[in-house]
Amino acid sequence: MLKIGDFARIARVTVKTLRHYACEGLLEPVYIDRYSGYRYYTIDQLPTLNRILALKDLGFSLAQIRQLLRETLTAEELRGMLRMKQIELRQTVECESERLQRVEERLQMIDREGSVSVSEILFCRGGDAAGKHTQKETGMEPVRFETLPAFKVMGMKYRGDNANQEIAQMWGVLNPRAHEIPMTGECAYGVCLMLPGESTGVFEYIAGFKVEEYDHVPEGMMVIDVPENRYAVFAHRGSLETLKDTYAAICDDWFPRAGYKPAGGYDMEVYTDEFRSFSPDSVFYIYEPVK
């Protein structure tokens, strides 16, 4: 029978940790004095503690370790947990590696360009930053980078080159029917896919709303899966007529200047304003997939 301090010294952990594990039901003392409340351990509990620490070393949470400590644990269950952890760790490593890469790109940019504005450093990635187009000159708000998880959009599809404002008309048709869509969130999404191999300017455009669960797809509508992606986000303020200019600025000015390349995936327009009418002060966003 060891007092908590002795057991902690022997086990090379802190007293706080032992108390915490006891409280979490991971390692109960073999005996607790009813009168004093003192916790008593035995040396036989050391292997259990070591098992806890080994599992923690593999990245499991205390709640998961509680599951893994059960007597009835089979090798199959352990494998399942390890598989999950493997996937999780791969994502973590990938995510942090990409973040590291972004930091290193910013550092290289500073070393290469010398003194540039913080804004330039944050929102461009490389290329010829000496071409001093500020975002105000091109009519864009400073961009943002955002990684969106996968989601679904329900709405109506158009295919063509939008020569006669068919897309605006489609929104006009869709909006009165918006109540048919079990939307989550308050944004309207225009998901746009340029069609390679087609004549210039032909694209598919799905106008719709984000959904999570749905019973059926209303007549004339469809659902599209938008995969997880990282986007450069541009703000467009003003009417839809100047949208073309903003796109031109993004593609011809920002993309080559920043050294990013458009990645595969869907372009998106995200309307956060009152999406039933576009006032001249409307702000909405253009999401361009980047890698």
What does the binding site for a second copy look like in residue numbers (CB under 8 A)?
9-10, 12, 43, 46-47, 50-51, 53-55, 57-59, 68, 73, 75, 78-79, 82-83, 85-86, 89-90, 92-93, 96-97, 99-100, 102-104, 106-107, 110-111, 114-116, 118-119, 121-123, 141-146, 186, 233, 235, 270, 272-273, 283, 285
Residue 35 makes contact with DNA by CB under 7 A = yes
**Edge-to-edge strands of the sheet including 2-3?**
2-3, 39-41, 31-32
Look at residue 16 and give the partner it binds from a second copy, DNA, none, a contact being a CB closer than 5 to 8 Å depending on partner kind. DNA
- Of the candidate spans 56-64, 148-156, 239-247, 278-286, the one that interacts with DNA by CB under 7 A turns out to be 56-64
Dist. CA 133–CA 117, nearest whole Å: 12
CB of 13 to a second copy, least distance (A): 10
Length of the chain in terms of residues written: 291
Q: Does 14 bind DNA (CB under 7 A)?
A: yes
- Residue 104 interacts with which of a second copy, DNA, none, CB < 5 to 8 Å by class: a second copy
Contacted by 67, from a second copy, DNA, none: CB < 5 to 8 Å by type? none
Give phi and psi for 156, each to the nearest 5. -115, 150
If contact means CB under 5 to 8 A according to the sort of partner, which of a second copy, DNA, none does residue 33 touch?
DNA
